Amino acid sequence: MTDAKSQPQPPLGTHLRERRDLGPLADVVEAIATAGRGIAARIQRARLDDGDVIGEVGAINVQGEIQQKLDVLSDELVLASLQGCRSVAVYASEEQEEPVVLRPRSEGGMYAVLSDPLDGSSNIDVAVSVGTIFSVLPNDAPDDQTASAVLQAGSAQVAAGYVLYGSSVVLVLATAAGVDMYVLDPDRDEFMLVAEGLAMPTSKKLYAINEAYFEEFEPGLQAYLRYAHGNGYGLRYIGSMVADVHRTLLKGGVFVYPSTRKAPEGKLRLMYEGNPMAYVMVQAGGAGETGVGAILDVVPKALHERVPVIVGSSEEVAQVTRHLA
């Protein structure tokens, strides 16, 4: 991992525009960062503005989950920010039943953006780290089929990442050129570059999984956990995907959210959780698997389909998949 720079770090916008490989993609990332700053501000005032932010809205989203007020608000902030970005053609999220078409390719809509606007929102009222996950795909769809651009394999992504709202607000961006990390400077209200070319350890005896469901796991995963217990592995599990993945990215190890008897397809969503997180890990030298193949190779059949997720250090992911096989 590249150490933080000793000289003044450039702001996100400046750094993105210094990169000739990004072009209009820089505008998309800046739009996501703008939404992230807005969400961060609302989270920091969550208990102060209790009635406006904390609690349920009384509705069920397309996932069959009870929507939190901050889920809806975060989705609105991401959508509003992307609406102002002329490079974005279509937006899809965990909170929207169908994709929202903003503009066709003929009007400059080059990209499809998918997002989990606030992963882990049920943790807001106990001050646990949460995050915004995003995925950016190219839009090659005909104008009358713009919405279809959201259904592509993860290998087609041109950028992905997340904003982590924790002890600091961190934006991690992965592109074909690698993985960079920015931190929100509260005095300037800007994301500043702190590390370039993140490279995760190839192995580390750490795993993150909710072992409370041990009896629900398939026998191969149970065998892996017994192997981990007997070989000096440490358990690190926060229960907020963005926080667990971020730690895994920086420290190494493996994050596992598997299928269970009750959820044989897995629980996490392929398009805006599995794909972007796998892309981040792969671009940092790690791996992302379902247990039967690479996450990024899965051809989606539906916007909200689910998938088992095994992401992290390449050797640790391989250790899990060997036991599953």
Is residue 59 located within the same domain as residue 37?
yes
pLDDT at 55: 55
Domain limit, last residue, from 171, 195, 219? 195
Q: Which domain holds residue 35?
A: 12-195
What mean pLDDT is predicted for residues 104-121?
94
Cβ–Cβ < 8 Å for 276, 296: no
Structure-block tokens of residue 85: 């970005």
Cβ–Cβ < 8 Å for 119, 75: no
Distance CA 162, CA 2 (A): 19
Is residue 224 located within the same domain as residue 187?
no
Coil/strand/helix, residue 44? helix
Cβ–Cβ < 8 Å for 309, 295: yes
What mean pLDDT is predicted for residues 228-233?
97
pLDDT at 4: 43
Is residue 214 located within the same domain as residue 315?
yes
Mean pLDDT is lowest, of 68-77, 167-176, 206-215, 252-261, for: 68-77
Distance CA 34, CA 32 (A): 5
Buried residues in 193-213 as b, exposed as e (16+ CB within 10 A):
bbbbebebbebbebbbbeeee
Distance CA 69, CA 46 (A): 10
Q: In this structure, what CATH number is given to the domain that contains residue 23?
A: 3.30.540.10
Confidence band of 128 (pLDDT split at 50, 70, 90): confident
Mean pLDDT is lowest, of 16-25, 152-161, 228-237, for: 16-25
Q: Output Rg (C-alpha) for the chain, integer angstroms.
A: 19
Q: What is the mean pLDDT of the chain?
A: 92
Q: Structurally, how many domains does the chain consist of?
A: 2
Q: In this structure, what CATH number is given to the domain that contains residue 309?
A: 3.40.190.80
Given its phi and psi angles, is residue 153 left (phi above 0), alpha (psi -120 to 50 degrees) or beta? beta
Is residue 66 located within the same domain as residue 191?
yes
